[in-house]
Structure 1
Amino acid sequence: MKKLQIITITALMASGVAYAALDWDGVDNLAKGASVTLSSNDSEGNRAAIVDDNNGSGWQAAGGAVNPDWALIDLGESKAFKDIEIKWEASHPNTYKVYVTDNAPTVTASGDENVIDAAWLTANDSKAVERDITGEASVDDHITGDFSGRYLLIYDLTDNNWASQYGMRIFEVRVGDFSTLADRISKLALDDVSVVRGETATVNVKAMTATGEGDLSKVTNLRLEASDPSVTVTDKGNGQFEVVPSAYGNYTLTAFGAADGKDLTATAKLTSNPDASTYLINESMTFQADAKNANGEDNAKNAFDGNDGGNGWMAGRDGYGENEAAGEHLHWLLLDMQNEYNIELITVNWEGASSNRYDIYAVQTLDDLKALTLESEATYGISLAPGVNARTDWFYGKELTEVRYLLLVSRENGSPYGLNLREMRLYGKTSRDPEASDIRIAYEGDAIANVGLPLTAIVMDQFGNAWSDQEGITLAVTDGDATIDANVLTAAKRGTVTVEATWKELKATKTIEFKADINEAVNRGKLTVEADAKNADDADNAANAFDGNMTTGWMAGRDGYGIEEGFESAGAHEHWLKVNFWRPSTSIW
């Protein structure tokens, strides 16, 4: 349980932990530039860093310190105040105490560390307030009470996981009095908003005091403006506005007003997103790239798997092509959408290992794709200053119709870690409705006379995708000495056989070349074989070379196969294997 102890300087209870950052505009920060002593890493720069009124600097105690971490601030003289704010980095205590006193603690050196005298801590424990902080993230701890004293000591009791390893870290300590400004409007506030393009988002503008939300009615001339005229803004009253973006992209919303004799502004980001129903990537699409992953399989598909947080298409890094330095390197990524689409938006999400210079080419046909060169005019392109840059690039505004192929060509790596394109997304709609246009007849393996050959027949649309209705397809032999039963084609002899597939009004034919299989003929007794070498039990083993089994075969010149034991040496040895071809009354040909 949290312990809240009385500050006996002026005998008022300190409040509980508050984790909201304060607005110090107009409040005198009594700790700014104060003298500081630190438990470890006690240098002039570190001492100044926690009282320089800069949230970006700070001090970190030495990791693995033997004694507790602490920071002592000397305000120069005894001062009264009501608010203490400590901005902690993620490496903070779970429990610590804040002492406010007029008598300085006794500090002694112990190796590379400074130590507060234990007797002083005990004597002043009634003047301390104990604080509890949970989690392992940065936090602003706001302590309130009626404080009076010259010295402010922040003393670590127990650490979170980060602080126990690396020492506690403080960005900034501020001391002051917000009580006189409790009702003063110091700023406006509004949240970032994300909305589907063309739809309405509600934005609420708030009036803020130094310690929280204030009275919005005190703000005069309140209005909201967008950074682009394509975003319409409607004032609904009482700080509520409706915004409607008509184009994709990121925009800035700025609120304006005035209060307590001061002009106020605040900004937020408006993101205009595509409708999820217009997302185009599907399982029928295929992907290619120049760079391979560690086991030799294309990793291009990772850029189109819908996962923005993981690894995507990687190139020019360990296991994904050669390790490359930052600078000019050529890589490409190709998407075949297997259909024609009208594309409205393309987004490219890069990890820090990003491309600083790349082009996107959107074309309709394979001939258009083959005609592209590195000098061809790109559909979209981007060129940024060198440097590691995790980001999402948005491309829109051009009329891209009847596009099937999308090619990304990266020309320059922005980091020495190759490329990691986490996700590429396309939004739009099909340019033409699909329709059944062809029947694809296919088979796998070799077409061998007298051996059944399973056939498949699939109705396809004009984009090469399987049609939704596959019922009622029939197959028939239209030429050749063959029969078909349950879609299994059997030719009586070698030669060509033509098969016709029919589905409603559609027809398609396929001519298949059948060949005679000598191995099959041997197995069926149509051919015989002989050889000079015998196996261990004195039976011919030549037929093993024609049994269709890759693990057995004809053996000669080895233990039990032509010689009693041992093996023939490398070099000239004569062995023969003979196949007797003959035409029985029922020809295999």
Structure 2
Amino acid sequence: MRPRTLAALAAVLALPLTLLSTPATQAVAVTATASSTEGSGFEASQAADGDAATRWASEEGVDPQWIRLDLGATSTISGATLNWEAAYAKSYKIQTSPDGSAWTDVYSTTTGDGGTDQLALSGSGRYVRMYGTQRGTTYGYSLWEFTVQTSSGGDTTPPSTPGNLRSTGTTANTVSLAWNAATDNVGVTGYEVYRGNTLVNTVTGTTFTDTGLSASTSYTYTVKARDAAGNTSPASGAVTATTQQGGGTETLLSQGRPATASSTEGAGFEAAKAVDGDTAGTRWASEEGVDPQWIQVDLGTNATVSRVKLTWEAAYGQAYKIQTSANGTSWTDVHSTTTGDGGTDDVAVIGAGRFVRVHGTQRGTAYGYSLFELQVYGTPGSGGDTTPPSTPGNLRSTATTASSVSLAWNAATDNVGVTGYDVYRGSTLVNTATGTTFTDTGLTASTSYTYTVKARDAAGNTSPASNAVTATTQPPTSGGTPVEANGQLRVCGTKLCNENGKQIQLRGMSSHGLQWYSQCLNTASLDALATDWKADVLRISMYIQEDGYETNPRLFTDRVHNLIEQATARGMYAIVDWHMLTPGDPMYNLARAKTFFTEIAQRHNNKKNLFYEIANEPNGVSWSTVKSYAEQLIPVIRAIDSDTPILVGTRAWSSLGVSDGASETEVIGNPVNATNIMYTFHFYAASHGSNYFNTLSRAADRLPMFVTEFGTQTASGGGGNNFGMSQQYIDLMAQKKISWVNWNYSDDGLSGAVFTGGTCPNGPFTGTSRLKEAGVWIRERVRTPDDF
């Protein structure tokens, strides 16, 4: 359940902040903003004007709400005073932030009782926010005054010195370093790496590889830690490392070999121009303005690859990978960077394969990618790894439908490392999987299929075939499952189309957070959703914060893997929901999202039944920030999975900006630079009336829209149902073929959960005996016959 703020323009006025008159505080100028206001005269600035007779008041009856103070500069925060009007917060947090996006809790209570709260705090930041999650009355939140006490001088304490700087590896032109983390009174934000007296990079982790060095040369390094206030530590102990010898038997393997690319700018810029030996005249150039792009060269035979030299034209790759492959299909990364700066990149690598690819995921300019020359060095047809992996064990069928067979097997081992598994149906290679599961789709009902699996490594060695397993698909069902009827979906214009090009609408349910209600997603409940509810789609809602993914990425990723397989086995579509909510800036979780969606796409890119919802409800940020996030994450997914539709959250809690007083025009005028994507819209009918309704109606005529969450209740996910307004939305979505998912398929205590308390995990989940009023209503509409 995720509450959100309704539309209201926050007041923004710069006024002096009145502070407690203690020796440890200083007066600062602040700007106050808020999530909403009750109306004129109740703006955020009224709580920061020093006048105990004026006040800020939020919109009534809606959680959460917030008021934020901008102190103008990073400060050490020692306390806060909140003078509540009668409309107080029972549950709220005090949070600090260096940038107004990423928030840190410095105080939290669930037992607020109004009056005046004088709080001792310990934190640092430019922004301070009261974030109310539960009102103490039926009204909103209201503060006569919100003041902050800051210690004079801000943060002046530098981090400790990074320890044990060491070299962890060298090649002919690289040195890899590692060091022990530093500590800080507020927090370390990065490490500056120096080669001699030259700053060569600033990194956030405790490792770094320095590239482009000369062979047989000694280099000396030191590292300094840095915090958010700009304080830097003393330099670490120095370490000296010597690169390995170059030259030797290294041979240029790529010149004149066949080369292909994802695209070309036009005649005269073909991939072959990058392997013709001309390093300054001819060049390959990709299509402009599109990520990702790639160029690959076929070396003709398996080779040991030791070095790749890239001579960039002005249109260079900022983020790219160098990859090797034995077959041109399964790729292994041998180098990756996100800080490319053009010129010449001479990269030492350790790899083997017949094919070498440069895979660009982020352009360094507004143009495309362009290489004067791609030069691959190594040893052809000799040396390298010749040991095949062991045989995969215990191949078995884990599920069947009328058109699919799901398989699993035990992992193989290899002297270097297994890179994938070739799955054979009879003697036909049907897929190369990176994990140990695979679902073969598009099969014929009531038919037996026999499978074997072989493991492969980076050098192209393959294991003996596994044991064979034979599985029989189930008998055909009337009309088939949604996936059987529609196959791989794609975006066509402003609609969602099936593999035959027909415009369709999907209807289904969203799970609650997997950290709280995974017991409501079991064999019986999912069977009921597929066969009794006749749902087309399951939304798998994985929260990132709030005890979710960030607490145990492995656990939650595996839960999503399992639920994808469960939906697939039942012929339903599955939305993989990256349920970011607080903090509302998707950039805060960008690195996590890249890691998560990379694994999901690698495991499931062969499936035809997925959607990737990459940002549940961005809030507190501009559309340009959401767009930038999407344009950094989508290429990562597309490098692995080119077919699955991607769902992009819109700002202000996926309201197309309406909850912040904006409209769909900001997306129409500045769309995400990507294809096969849709934009999401969320509404709660008892709170979101004609303004939201009309926005969705207009947007659906100009943008591909998917309602990935809605309720018949208020925006809190609870309260009374407005079935009349809900039906207007249902009718609109049917008319314009807008697919939708209802919140939520659980037995939590709010009216938006479809099941009564105590239904999970044992049910029953079929019929209506354990459904709340909203559950009965939505089940009837999910069960409406599909028009496939």
TM over 0.5: no
Structure with bigger strand share is 1
TM-score, normalisation: structure 1: 0.24
**Which of the pair has more CA radius of gyration?**
1
